[in-house]
């Protein structure tokens, strides 16, 4: 039994997973409402909320899995990348819990966690594969040789794909986080109504800042009333541009990695147009696209545990190694 804990951004999450990848529980307490009025995550507010939520969320994960704390055999926790204050809440909690029970601890990388969302039962995806990881913080193309062995072949030069969705949503007067709202609204709009540019950067990298600026200018030109009236068309056209960029690069990445099977993980993997545009790809299960702790416990199955009490001095890390 693996207890996973994730607090890297604005979701407080805990999950119980068996060693063969069966999810017994996965609890996610989102702070989105708390941050919505600021239009984005406020790090200090996030840390304080994690502090209040981490114990009850872990308790709920155990109770929903139907197990007692005694039955937990190892603790997995996100060590980075993410907001350092937020990460430290989960990491400190996990250390204390593991130490009190003399359990081993597996410090887990958040990105390895997203990739390992493909490894859960009943149908784990066998590496090797080419993986697009598209979230609020990252847009990466990865050559995944094994769940503990992958290499970055492309990244974004500016905004992440999820960030592009969120910033676009804000320009359209939608709530935060905006990806899911754009997705919903786009279904009623015409994706060909506006021609938004997809940046052409050399190689396998992405750039989304020009697209965001194009939307800004269009919204300014249309004015408030017209923007409101054409919001669905704007959302559909904007989403189309992001999806095109992602699909085109992911297909091209296969030439670089030589791994023909393709997979998509991270919050943006929940996007319905992206899912429809890549019928040949394997997507993370919907419930495991946005941040959760089941993926962290899943990743921990492929990494060595640190015996008690050698992990007590571990620190969190903010950015990509
Ligand atoms: O993986 P995640 O929960 O957090 C990070 O590790 O960053 O991803 C969150 C991102 C947000 O930017 C959110 O707007 C986006 O995923 N997202 C979506 C959808 N659902 C969530 N983007 C597009 N379409 C969706 N349906
Ligand atoms: Zn994430």
d(CA 260, CA 15): 32
Instruction: Render the burial of 248-278: b for 16+ CB within 10 Å, e for the rest.
Output: ebbeebbeebebebbbbbbbbbbbebbbebb
Instruction: Tell me: do 259 and 171 sit in the same domain.
Output: yes
The pLDDT of 143-163, averaged and rounded, is: 97
- Residues 188, 45: Cα–Cα separation, whole Å: 35
- Tell me the pTM: 0.96
Asked if 18 contacts 116 with a C-beta cutoff of 8 angstroms, the reply is no
With cut-offs at 50, 70 and 90, classify the pLDDT of residue 266: very high
Half-sphere exposure of residue 213: CA atoms within 13 angstroms, side-chain side: 9
Average pLDDT over residues 234-245: 97
Strand, coil or helix: what is 52? helix
Alpha-carbon distances of 37 from 61, 85, 173, rounded to whole Å: 29, 21, 12
Give the list of residues 6+ apart from residue 37 with CB closer than 8 angstroms, or none: none
Which tens digit of pLDDT belongs to each residue from 15-57?
Answer: 999 999 999 999 999 888 888 888 788 899 999 999 999 999 9
Residue 180 lies in a domain: yes
Q: Are 169 and 24 found together in one domain?
A: no
- Is 80 found in the same domain as 44? yes
Same domain, 179 and 268: yes
Indicate if the pLDDT at residue 237 is higher than 90.
yes
Whether residue 113 has its Cβ less than 6 Å from ligand 1? no
pLDDT tens-place string over residues 96-126: 999 999 999 999 999 999 999 999 999 999 9
- Nearest-atom number in ligand 1 for the CA of 11 is 3
Pick the atom of ligand 1 nearest to 165's CA. 14
Full residue range of the structural domain in which residue 239 is found: 129-284
Smallest-distance ligand from the CA of 271: 1
Task: Specify burial of residue 321 (Cβ count, 10 A radius: 0-12, 13-18, 19+).
Answer: exposed
Residue 249 forms part of a structural domain? yes
Query: Is pLDDT above 80 for 270?
Result: yes
Assign residue 279 the CATH number of its domain.
Answer: 3.30.420.40
Closest ligand 1 atom, CA of 184? 26
Whether residue 189 has its Cβ less than 6 Å from ligand 1? no
Q: Are residues 274 and 179 in the same domain?
A: yes
257 and 174 inside one domain: yes
| Residue 247 within a domain | yes
Nearest CA to ligand 1 atom 16: 267
Domain membership flag for residue 68: yes
Residue 218 has pLDDT above 80, yes or no: yes
The CA distance from 162 to 134, in Å, is 7
d(CA 153, CA 4): 28
Asked whether residue 319 is domain-assigned, the answer is no
Is the pLDDT at 300 greater than 70, yes or no?
yes
Q: How far is the CA of 18 from the centre of ligand 2 (A)?
A: 22
Ligand 1 center to residue 11 CA distance, Å? 12
Span from the CA of 244 to the centroid of ligand 1 (angstroms):
17
What per-residue confidence (pLDDT) applies to 197? Answer: 84
Q: Are 134 and 275 contained in the same domain?
A: yes
Q: Do 253 and 155 lie in a common domain? A: yes
- Cβ–ligand 1 distance for 180 under 6 Å, the answer yes
Q: Are residues 143 and 50 in the same domain?
A: no
Q: What percent of the chain has pLDDT over 70?
A: 100
Strand residues in 204-261 grouped as ranges (E): none
Q: Which ligand lies nearest the alpha carbon of 28?
A: 1
In a domain, 320, yes or no: no
Taking 90 as the threshold, does the pLDDT of residue 252 lie above it? yes
**Which residue's CA is minimally distant from atom 24 of ligand 1?**
271
Same structural domain, 45 and 188: no
Q: What is the pLDDT of residue 321?
A: 62
What's the 202 CA to ligand 1 centre distance in angstroms?
25
Confirm whether 101 is domain-assigned.
yes
- Is residue 318 assigned to a domain? no
Give pLDDT tens digits for 85-102.
Answer: 999 999 999 999 999 999
Mean pLDDT of 132-139: 96
161 CB within 6 A, ligand 1: no
238 Cβ closer than 6 Å to some ligand 1 atom: no
Query: For position 314, what pLDDT does the model report?
Result: 97
- Note whether 105 and 147 are same-domain residues: no
pLDDT at 219 over 90: yes
Looking at the fold, whether 37 and 107 belong to one and the same domain comes out as yes
Q: Which two tokens stand for residue 243?
A: 């999806």
Q: Would you say the CB of residue 267 lies under 6 angstroms from ligand 1?
A: yes
Into how many domains does the chain fold?
A: 2
**Lowest mean pLDDT segment, chosen from 27-41, 211-225, 250-264:** 27-41
Residue 194 CA, ligand 2 centroid: distance in Å = 30
């Amino acid at each position: 039994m693996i207890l996973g804990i994730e607090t890297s951004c604005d979701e407080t999450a805990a999950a119980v997973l068996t060693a063969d990848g069966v999810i017994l529980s996965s609890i996610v307490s989102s702070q989105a409402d708390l941050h919505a009025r600021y239009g984005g995550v406020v790090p200090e507010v996030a840390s304080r909320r994690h502090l209040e939520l981490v114990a009850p969320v872990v308790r709920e994960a155990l109770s929903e899995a139907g197990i007692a704390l005694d039955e937990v055999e190892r603790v997995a926790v996100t060590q980075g990348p993410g907001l350092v204050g937020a990460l430290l809440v989960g990491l400190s909690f996990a250390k204390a819990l593991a130490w009190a029970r003399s359990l081993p601890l597996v410090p887990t990388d958040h990105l390895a966690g997203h990739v390992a969302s493909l490894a859960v039962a009943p149908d784990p995806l066998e590496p090797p594969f080419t993986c697009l990881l598209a979230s609020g913080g990252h847009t990466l193309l990865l050559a995944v040789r094994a769940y503990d062995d992958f290499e970055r072949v492309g990244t974004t030069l500016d905004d992440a794909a999820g960030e592009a969705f969120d910033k676009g949503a804000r320009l359209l007067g939608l709530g935060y986080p905006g990806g899911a709202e754009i997705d919903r609204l786009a279904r009623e709009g015409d994706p060909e109504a506006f021609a938004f540019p997809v940046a052409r950067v050399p190689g396998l990298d992405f750039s989304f800042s020009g697209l965001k600026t194009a939307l800004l200018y269009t919204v300014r030109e249309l004015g408030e009333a017209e923007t409101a009236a054409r919001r669905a068309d704007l959302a559909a056209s904007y989403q189309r541009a992001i999806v095109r960029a992602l699909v085109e690069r992911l297909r091209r990445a296969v030439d670089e990695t030589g791994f023909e099977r393709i997979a998509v993980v991270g919050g943006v993997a929940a996007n319905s147009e992206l899912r429809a545009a890549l019928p040949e790809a394997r997507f993370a299960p919907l419930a495991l696209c946005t941040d959760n702790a089941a993926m962290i416990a899943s990743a921990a199955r492929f990494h060595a545990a640190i015996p008690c009490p050698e992990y007590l001095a571990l620190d969190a890390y903010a950015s990509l190694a």
